[in-house]
Amino acid sequence: MFAGKNKLKVLLVIVLIVVLAVAAFFIYFMTNVNSYQEKVRNTIISDIDISGIPDGSYIGEYDAGLVYANVEVHIESGKIADILIIEHRNGRGMSAESIVDTIISQQKIDVDAISGATSSSTVIKKAIELALLRE
C-alpha cells in the first residue's frame, strides 16, 4: 500500500511539472507573438527617391521576430529593375513575396500589402527600404 502512495505522488509531481512546462512555453510563445505584432505594427516605410540611387545591387534585411526577410534590390538608370528575395522566414505569409512585382511596377516601396500576408508584406518592404538606404 505504501508503494502505491509513492507512485501516485511521483505521478502527480510529473503531471505538475508537465503542466508548468506547457504553461511556461505558452507564456513564452505569446510574449514573442505580441512582441512581433508590436514591431510590425510600428514599422514605418520611408518614401525614398529611387531616381537618385546609383546603379547597382543593394542588400537589405529586416527581422521582426517571427518574420524575417533578406532581399537584393537591383537599380538601373534610377529605377528598380529587379528584387530578389534571398530569404523569407514566415508563418503563412509566403504569398507576400509577390509584393516585389507591385513595387517594381509602381517604382515605390510603400505599396498596398498582400491580403492575408500583411506582416510579411511589411517586413519585405522594410528590407527593401533598408537595402536602398545603405547605398
What residue segments make up the domains of the chain, in order of their start? 50-133
Buried b (16+ CB within 10 A) or exposed e, 65-101: bbbbbbbbbbbeeeebeebebeebebeebeebbebbe
Average pLDDT over all residues of the chain:
90
What percent of the chain lies above the pLDDT cut of 90? 64
pLDDT value at position 85?
A: 96
Confidence check: pLDDT of 22 > 70: yes
Q: Which fold has domain 50-133?
A: Sufe protein. Chain: A (3.90.1010)
Confidence check: pLDDT of 103 > 70: yes
pLDDT value at position 96?
A: 92
| C-beta atoms surrounding 27 within 10 Å | 10
pLDDT value at position 135?
A: 54
Mean pLDDT along residues 120-128:
96
pLDDT per residue as tens digits for the range 46-101: 989 999 999 999 999 999 988 999 999 999 999 999 999 999 998 777 899 999 99
Mean pLDDT along residues 28-43:
80
* Listed residue (93, 88, 84) closest to 69, CA to CA: 88
